[in-house]
Amino acid sequence: MKVFKSLLISLFFLSSILGACELSFQPSAATVAKGGQVKVVLKRAQEHRRCELSQDDMKYDLKDLTILKKGAWKEVETGTFEQELTLRLDASQGTLRVSRECSRKGISEATITIKRK
């Protein structure tokens, strides 16, 4: 019985520290000329093997940036997906915040800042 309780407590602790999918950008920041374009890769490391959300269930919040091209999601390794984005800077600095809301683990997000040279 003690082993069962210890296992149950361990599982609860692990589930509370594990988050939703991990989102990141490569590169993490960029510099371009005004009106210039930059390609970035949005990376998503999936938390659950069978995610209830579709790949495209993502919110893109743009400030002074325009998405010119949004590539298809590609699985680069088991549970890790990438999407190439082509962005145009419309001011001296712009940001893109990407978020995804998981019903099991909450909100995942990543932000990239693009600056003018």
- Could you tell me the CATH number of the domain that includes residue 57? 2.60.40.10
Which tens digit of pLDDT belongs to each residue from 37-53? 999 999 999 876 666 66
The residue count of the chain comes to: 117
Number of structural domains in the chain: 1
Q: Which domain holds residue 73?
A: 20-116
Which tens digit of pLDDT belongs to each residue from 62-100? 999 999 999 999 999 998 999 999 999 999 999 999 998
Is 3 within a domain? no
The letter for the amino acid at 39 is: K
pTM of the model: 0.77
